[in-house]
Amino acid sequence: MTASRSASDDALQGLDRWARIRVRVLGLAAAIAAGLLLLAAGSTLRQPLFDLFQRVTPPPATTSAVQVVAIDGESIDAVGGWPWSRYTMARLTEQIAGRGAKVIGFDFLFPERDRQAPEDFIKLYPELSPGAASEVADLPSMDAVFARVIGRSPVVLARAGVGGDTFDKLEGDAERGALPPDVRFEGPTPAAIPSYPGVVANLDILDGAALGHGLANGPPDSDGVIRRVPLLGKAAGALTPSLALDLVRVAEGADVIRLEGDRDGLVAIRVGDHRVPVDPGGRVELRLAAPPDARGERRAEFVTISAADLLRRGVPDDAFRDKIVLVGLTAAGTSDVVTTPRETVTYGVFVQAQAVDAILRGAALRRPAWAPAVEWGIGFALVMLAWLTVPRVQLAPITIGAVVEIVAAFVASWVAFQNNVLVDPLPMLAPGAATSAVMVALLFVEGRRVQARLRGQIEDQKVSAARIAGELAAASEIQSGMLLPRVELAQVSPLVEIDALLKPAKTVGGDLYDAFPFDDGRVCFLVGDVTGKGVPASLFMALSKALSRSLLMRPATPLDVAVGEINRELSRDNREAMAVSLLVGVLHPADGRLELISAGHENPLVVGADRSVRELTLDGGPPLCVADDFPYPIETHRLVRGETLLLFTDGLTEAQAPDGTLFQRSDLIAAVADAARAVTLTGMLDALVARVRDFEAGGDPSDDLTVLAVRLRS
């Protein structure tokens, strides 16, 4: 088995029989362990995914039959602090009913007497005369007034199921009890239905006047988030519909609620013509609409009207025609604040509206009975696929296959969610992923035993590599010794300032430079780049440099003739078909005249005294060794005192950042202009190379880098 396990088929052949058995058995054991952990976690692991779907998928198109009357901050400012008097509630109820509401549901309770009852007023003002006190005592109770309005209107009042030790239960509830729900249930009553030993109800006078009564209980999950609402429960021993369910029942004019399922659990609840899927305990999981805007109003899903507008009669007369209207608290600081997967802070009345909408459309989220079988069936198939293929294919296809499986499973789950079906991708993926991971890990572990047999060979290879590295280091020193150091370059001519810098991409490289004077005071300089890198390029570089200096220094030999002879000599016996780009120049210090020949090399740059940068465009010809009889032309330019001629190899223009971005020509011009701030050529070249290395950001250089600068001394 190789270190990278490029093919685990070879790895298995190298393992003994018991090692193969361990890989196979422990792979299956990992799948079983992953499956057991998923079963133990239940919905804990999949719930965050479904919550994410709630937030990122477009909200469902809700029915227009549900509207909300919000007792919001504006209403509190207009009417006064909560709770309001029963007289105000009676007026509000009349305003809603008078605008055609099919049914009105209050998402809060009225368990206590009105705080503005006549007898309480008399107690508050004992200084009233007997006559005045008698007149006040003869006034009707506001609870009675509210009850009469409820009796004339299609109202459903909320109740709350409570535990035996709750603080919410009032002192008289035990004796008074609660009116039985005005509905008949048909079908099984499984034990999974929520059960509450006690119930907090409204005043008898109010409960007796209402058309329906429903439980407003909607306890959050263990993390404090409301995802589902119970549609019924046993309150004080009586099977009672939820507020949302009874609102739909009254709106439909139905007397019967049908429960579908068996003694182990429910699957759906039917009321009138509506059927809504539920979990075994009769809870509906909501596909939530969009959150409210900054004013606490629904964007489009549920029309929301402020109670203050109703009391001021600022709402059209038919605003609630044939609508189910929910009245609830949305003012800041009220207690009916909840959290849903889509909203960190919202109000319970909107959750009740969601539940009513889910019943009307029959579009609640559901987890069908077939879902676990499909999920675990796919999971088992993927486990067997991994068990059979992982030891036989390369690691790259395994990784690609895993990515495809993950994407497919999550996309399938998302598409199912769009259709209100909850499909968990974890049973499909986790067992197979555990099998693959364990088998791959064991193949690596077991493969180390095979590697031990090869350790001796590896040690020999290390020794050989160290010897080669030493030889390359020696070759690098020899190659560096062939190039003039910077101190000697500065002394080539008293009239010309020259500096150069060479940075090989590897230990040895193929770039070269040289400079030397002629007897008549002229100065010759050159920069070259051998194709390729490493040892072959370094050998050809040594030959090219030696041959170039030898032929260029011959007296009375024109520059173009010398370059032509260099080309022919390098082309002779060049069986490896290597080539050299070369830029040769001769500077006449007396008048600054430049004679240049370019053999496939980068055009040089001229940096002015004002740090302006321009390019000398040369016609030139192909690199040396490409055409052995090419007539390279001499091109003449003039170097003004104070200007700097800059020659360089493509290691400068082809430098790459870690993300693959190239050092563009514009970057080079800007870098040269910045580097020209330096007083000396040495400082200029050091700054330029440092700029290139900063651009590469620690990445490996793409090629050897050589820079040579020439300028007339002042």
343/412 same-domain check: no
Q: Using one digit for the tens of pLDDT, what is the confidence trace for 559-568? A: 999 999 989 9
Strand, coil or helix: 289:
coil
40/84 same-domain check: no
Strands 337-338 and 580-588: unpaired
**Taking residues 16-42, what's their average pLDDT?**
84
Q: Where are the alpha helices (DSSP H) in 483-553?
A: 486-489, 534-552
Q: Using one digit for the tens of pLDDT, what is the confidence trace for 371-385? A: 899 989 998 998 888
The pLDDT value recorded for residue 507 is 61
Could you tell me the two tokens for 516?
């030397």
The pLDDT value recorded for residue 556 is 82
164/231 same-domain check: yes
**Taking residues 25-54, what's their average pLDDT?**
87
- The total of other beta-carbon atoms located within 10 Å of residue 466's CB is 10
The pLDDT value recorded for residue 681 is 93
Residue 291 confidence (pLDDT) above 70 = no
The pLDDT value recorded for residue 13 is 58
Split at pLDDT 50, 70, 90, the class of 266 is: very high
- The total of other beta-carbon atoms located within 10 Å of residue 81's CB is 8
The pLDDT value recorded for residue 495 is 93
Report how many domains make up the chain.
Answer: 3
Q: Which residue has the higher pLDDT, 671 or 532?
A: 671
209/303 same-domain check: yes
Q: Using one digit for the tens of pLDDT, what is the confidence trace for 548-599? A: 888 898 888 899 999 999 899 888 877 778 889 899 999 999 999 999 999 9
The residues near 688 (Cβ < 8 Å, ≥ 6 apart) are 652, 671, 672, 675, 707
Q: Where are the alpha helices (DSSP H) in 139-242?
A: 142-152, 173-176, 204-207
Beta bridge partners of 624: 580
Residue 222 confidence (pLDDT) above 90 = no
Strand, coil or helix: 314:
coil
Split at pLDDT 50, 70, 90, the class of 331 is: confident
Split at pLDDT 50, 70, 90, the class of 294 is: very low
Residue with tokens 């600054």: 592
**Using CA atoms, how far apart are residues 187 and 193, in angstroms rounded to an integer?**
13
628/679 same-domain check: yes
Fill in the amino acid letter for 194. Answer: P
Beta bridge partners of 528: 512, 582
Beta bridge partners of 587: 523, 594
**Using CA atoms, how far apart are residues 101 and 429, in angstroms rounded to an integer?**
50
In a domain, 474, yes or no: no
The pLDDT value recorded for residue 494 is 93
580/634 same-domain check: yes
Q: Using one digit for the tens of pLDDT, what is the confidence trace for 82-137? A: 888 888 999 999 999 999 999 999 999 999 888 776 766 767 777 777 776 666 66
**Using CA atoms, how far apart are residues 556 and 520, in angstroms rounded to an integer?**
11
The pLDDT value recorded for residue 137 is 67
Range(s) of the domain holding residue 497: 483-712
The pLDDT value recorded for residue 175 is 40
The pLDDT value recorded for residue 435 is 87
Could you tell me the two tokens for 282?
């009769």
Nearest to 190 by CA among 258, 259, 263, 241: 263
pTM over 0.95: no
Residue 338 confidence (pLDDT) above 50 = yes
Last residue of a domain, one of 361, 385, 406: 361
Fill in the amino acid letter for 412. Answer: A
Beta bridge partners of 155: 104
Split at pLDDT 50, 70, 90, the class of 672 is: very high
The pLDDT value recorded for residue 614 is 93
Could you tell me the two tokens for 230?
């119970």
357/410 same-domain check: no
The pLDDT value recorded for residue 557 is 86
Q: Using one digit for the tens of pLDDT, what is the confidence trace for 612-663? A: 999 999 999 999 988 888 999 999 999 999 999 999 988 888 888 888 888 8
User: C-alpha angle 346/350/351, rounded to 5°?
Assistant: 90
Strand, coil or helix: 343:
coil
The pLDDT value recorded for residue 136 is 66
| CB neighbour class for 500 (10 Å; exposed up to 12, middle 13-18, buried from 19) | buried
Which of 23-27, 158-162, 274-278, 684-688 has the least mean pLDDT? 23-27
16/96 same-domain check: no
In a domain, 673, yes or no: yes
Split at pLDDT 50, 70, 90, the class of 176 is: very low
**Using CA atoms, how far apart are residues 207 and 528, in angstroms rounded to an integer?**
101
The pLDDT value recorded for residue 3 is 38
**Using CA atoms, how far apart are residues 675 and 690, in angstroms rounded to an integer?**
10
Residue 470 confidence (pLDDT) above 60 = no
The pLDDT value recorded for residue 9 is 46
In a domain, 348, yes or no: yes
70/121 same-domain check: yes
Last residue of a domain, one of 361, 381, 402: 361
Identify how many contiguous H helices and E strands the chain contains and give both numbers: 23, 28
**Taking residues 254-277, what's their average pLDDT?**
91
Handedness of CA 252, 279, 371, 417 (dihedral sign): positive
Residue 296 confidence (pLDDT) above 50 = no
**Percentage of residues of the chain with pLDDT beyond 70:** 86
In a domain, 341, yes or no: yes
Helix (H) or strand (E) holding 235, with range, is strand 232-235
**Taking residues 514-519, what's their average pLDDT?**
92
Strand, coil or helix: 227:
coil
Last residue of a domain, one of 361, 394, 425: 361
User: Running DSSP on this structure, what letter comes out for residue 147?
Assistant: H
**Using CA atoms, how far apart are residues 543 and 579, in angstroms rounded to an integer?**
12
Residue with tokens 């709750």: 166
Handedness of CA 479, 537, 616, 692 (dihedral sign): negative
Nearest to 669 by CA among 597, 621, 612, 587: 612
The pLDDT value recorded for residue 2 is 37
147/242 same-domain check: yes
